[in-house]
Amino acid sequence: MKVFYNSNMSIDSGSYSPSGSKPAAAVADWLARGLAVQIVDFEPATEADLCLAHNPKFVRQVLKGRSPNGHGNRRKAVTNSCRWTVGSLVAAAREALTETITCSPSSGFHHAGYAHNGAYCTFNGMIVAARQMMIEGRVSKVGILDADMHYGDGTQDIIDVLNLHDEIKHWTFGSLVYDLNFHQDELLCAMGQALQAMKADGVELIIYQAGADPHKNDPLGGLMTSAEMRERDAFVFKECMAHGMPVVFDFAGGYQRDANGGIEPVLELHRATAEEAIRALAGARSTTKKWIRMIDTTAQSLGKGIAIIGGVRAPRKPKQR
């Protein structure tokens, strides 16, 4: 599986959220554990790219340090890293259309609205990626499946302001349930219905935000077990493959800490997502190979003059002398 990572996208933001430094930690974890990933470099998002989702004046103010980034500071290095996280998602989305499943190990998108940011989200990379794919003529519609614990208010704000309701279909977990009476089957049913509706609406690419904060031990979550979160991810990838919709996934949320203050509990959840993506991708490729073999076998049979009718092979008619 191709993972679009560059060290410039990872930095200690100095905030409560570990999202700034998480890309490097997650990629290092995957490589150390031998996951079947291929690291791919890319270019950062430009100012013009960011304006696909945001008010141009807002973008300039943030990039110049006159307004705070989503982490609540004006550190240019932190803000610059956000150009790289957006660029990662754009590049991964583009490649997903040929690779079926790709990954952008980035986060900090869905609370960034048209002319505001906050809650550790600076720029909305999901909207930028979706619009860029449409501008390039690669797709006509994109679906955003946001499985973060919290409502994707920034994403919805941009869709409303720019009137993107027809082009971008948005489903956010935060609008489904926000209490402790949660049931896993309800989530899977709702996600399945959302993906089916997106397919019916003509969506050609899914941006899946695989949030880690719904975990039962997360201080800002508190709903799902590790097994349920893995099941969620496997379900999404399986459904996307079944509907023939390529998917690019990114991170979101995840605020757990271990006894030493590290984020190993969060990395475990992101690792599970990557493992399920790799498994689904391997399955999709295996299915493709089977179809190719079937086509080759049929072509060879036809080339030998054998007609296959209703499962019965009819010998070639003798030549007239």
What 8-state DSSP symbol labels residue 175? G
- Using CA atoms, how far apart are residues 85 and 171, in angstroms rounded to an integer? 22
Tens of pLDDT, residue by residue over 184-211, are 998 999 999 999 999 999 999 999 999 9
Task: Establish if 320 belongs to a structural domain.
Answer: no
Task: Establish if 54 belongs to a structural domain.
Answer: yes
Q: Is the pLDDT at 150 greater than 60, yes or no?
A: yes
- The least confident of 174-183, 219-228, 266-275, 280-289 is 174-183
Domain that holds residue 124: 2-314
Average pLDDT, the chain: 91
For 63-91, b where at least 16 C-beta lie within 10 A, e where not — what string? beeebbbbbeeebeebbebbbbbbbbbbb
For 122-158, b where at least 16 C-beta lie within 10 A, e where not — what string? bbbbbbbbbbbbbeeebbebbbbbbbbbbbbbbbbbb
Predicted structure pTM score: 0.89
Please tell me the total count of domains within the chain: 1
Domain at 38, CATH number: 3.40.800.20
The pLDDT of residue 287: 65
Task: Establish if 254 belongs to a structural domain.
Answer: yes
Tens of pLDDT, residue by residue over 253-284, are 999 999 999 999 999 999 999 999 999 999 98
Task: Give residue 60's pLDDT band: very low, low, confident or very high (50, 70, 90).
Answer: very high
Task: Establish if 319 belongs to a structural domain.
Answer: no
